[in-house]
């Protein structure tokens, strides 16, 4: 921990990020007698992803653009804890840092929002649908190939405003973020995980601290949700196995039941036109091994249709 008396949480400044951080703050207060409203401070840190909102994420540094500045503050002991949306974290952890705890997962599914139609299937051909994700783009194309799918960036409020301003006929967002901001009334339809398998780690709040900060690690252990933690071990290992990044069209969802982890996955070809699927299961303590196995099987199935940027 830092030498300051207050426990400092580093967070992005968006409404959603602050909602996540305040949720974590409340969990910490409930779980530890040393904390109250005044002993925990939330420090807003601007990231590259926040500064360059109109540029494609891969052009400004890839998956780490929402994390790097926050991680720098953590490495330099200016904050005690970094709160991230797990799917924003790069696959390979920054040296000296760790995520040994996560909050109980929110609903990982994707949501359909529209002001012209009540459901996805009611959209007129050539309707313009906005999404920030190549994964969603590929999945939506598989469901219907008669729509115009357009890349969009910005926080949830910005995207909903663009929809209300009729820049799009519909948009697709993470349901977890919508629920965290109490915007459920904006949702017209929730996609099933059979229709759209979520992004790796979708709906999970990651709690990142220094590897050698035993005091903070002990504090976070009290709010760690074990079921979510083992599930994301499998999902993140899958992403690592395929060498995935922010432009990889991959979905993966692990579930834990009766000490058994089940991991479903789908990977799209680089052009987004072919889909490869694999699933596996085993004891939850082998979560990482299951993730690596699924990732390697996907790579075998995809062959030359999928190559990472490093390949």
Whole-number pLDDT of residue 287: 98
Asked whether residue 44 is assigned to any structural domain, the reply reads yes
The domain tally of the chain equals 3
Q: Are residues 15 and 84 in the same domain?
A: yes
Residue 56 has pLDDT above 50, yes or no: no
Q: Are residues 209 and 269 in the same domain?
A: no
Last residue of a domain, one of 169, 190, 211: 190
Residue 61 has pLDDT above 70, yes or no: no
Asked whether residue 195 is assigned to any structural domain, the reply reads no
User: CA 60, CA 56: separation in Å to the nearest integer?
Assistant: 7
Q: Are residues 128 and 238 in the same domain?
A: no
Whole-number pLDDT of residue 120: 97
Mean pLDDT on 165-184: 96
Q: Are residues 120 and 175 in the same domain?
A: yes
Q: Which residue numbers are catalytic?
A: 88
Give me the percent of the chain exceeding a pLDDT of 90. 80
Whole-number pLDDT of residue 51: 40
CATH code (residue 139): 3.40.190.10
Cβ–Cβ under 8 Å, residues 267 and 249: yes
Q: Is the pTM of this model over 0.75?
A: yes
State pLDDT tens for residues 107-121.
999 999 999 899 999
User: CA 190, CA 175: separation in Å to the nearest integer?
Assistant: 8
DSSP string of the chain? --SSSSEEEEE-SSHHHHHHHHHHHHHHHHH-TT--TTTEEEEE---HHHH-TTS-GGGGTGGGGGTHHHHHHHHTTS-SEEEEEGGGS-SSPPTTEEEEEEPPP----EEEEESS-SSGGGSPTT-EEEES-HHHHHHHHHH-SSSEEEE--S-HHHHHHHHHTTS-SEEEEEHHHHHHTT-GGG-SEE--TTTSPPPTTTT-EEEEEETT-HHHHHHHHTT--HHHHHHHHHHHHHHHHHT--TT--EEEEEEEETTEEEEEEEEE-TTS--EEEEEEEEEGGGHHHHHHHHHHHHHHHHGGG---TT-
Q: Are residues 43 and 171 in the same domain?
A: no
Mean pLDDT on 44-72: 62
Cβ–Cβ under 8 Å, residues 47 and 16: no
State pLDDT tens for residues 128-149.
999 989 999 999 999 999 999 9
Strand 170-174 to 110-114 pairing? antiparallel
Q: Are residues 185 and 96 in the same domain?
A: no
Q: Are residues 268 and 156 in the same domain?
A: no
Q: Are residues 123 and 156 in the same domain?
A: yes
CATH code (residue 249): 3.30.160.40
Whole-number pLDDT of residue 155: 86
State pLDDT tens for residues 218-233.
999 999 999 999 999 9
Residues found in the chain: 311
Residue ranges making up the domain that contains 154 = 110-190
Asked whether residue 122 is assigned to any structural domain, the reply reads yes
Q: Are residues 98 and 118 in the same domain?
A: no
User: CA 13, CA 296: separation in Å to the nearest integer?
Assistant: 37
Mean pLDDT on 40-48: 87
Q: Are residues 11 and 94 in the same domain?
A: yes
Q: Are residues 46 and 186 in the same domain?
A: no
Asked whether residue 308 is assigned to any structural domain, the reply reads no
């Amino acid at each position: 921990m830092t030498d300051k008396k207050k426990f400092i949480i580093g967070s992005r400044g968006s409404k959603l990020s602050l909602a996540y951080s305040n949720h974590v703050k409340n969990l910490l207060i409930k779980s530890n007698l040393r904390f109250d409203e005044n002993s925990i401070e939330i420090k807003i840190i601007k990231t590259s992803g926040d500064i360059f909102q109109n540029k494609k994420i891969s052009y400004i540094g890839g998956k780490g653009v929402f994390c790097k500045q926050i991680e720098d503050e953590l490495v330099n002991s200016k904050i005690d804890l970094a709160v991230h949306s797990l799917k924003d974290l790069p696959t390979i952890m920054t040296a000296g840092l760790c995520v040994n705890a996560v909050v109980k997962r929110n609903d990982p599914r994707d949501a359909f929002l529209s002001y012209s139609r009540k459901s996805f299937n009611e959209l007129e051909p050539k309707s313009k649908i906005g999404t920030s994700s190549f994964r969603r783009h590929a999945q939506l194309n598989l469901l219907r190939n008669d729509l115009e799918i357009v890349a969009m960036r910005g926080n949830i409020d910005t995207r909903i405003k663009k929809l209300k301003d009729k820049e799009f006929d519909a948009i697709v967002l993470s349901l977890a973020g919508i629920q965290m901001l109490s915007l459920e009334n904006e949702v017209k339809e929730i996609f099933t995980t059979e229709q759209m398998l979520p992004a790796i780690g979708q709906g999970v709040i990651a709690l990142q601290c220094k590897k050698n900060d035993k005091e903070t690690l002990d504090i976070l252990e009290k709010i760690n949700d074990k079921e979510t933690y083992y599930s994301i071990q499998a999902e993140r290992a899958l992403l690592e196995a395929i060498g995935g990044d922010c432009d990889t069209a991959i979905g993966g969802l692990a579930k834990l039941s009766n000490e058994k982890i089940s991991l479903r996955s789908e990977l799209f070809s680089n052009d987004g036109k072919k889909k490869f699927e694999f699933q596996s299961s085993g004891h939850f303590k082998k979560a990482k091994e299951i993730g690596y196995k699924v990732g390697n099987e996907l790579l075998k199935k995809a062959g030359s249709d999928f190559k990472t940027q490093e390949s």
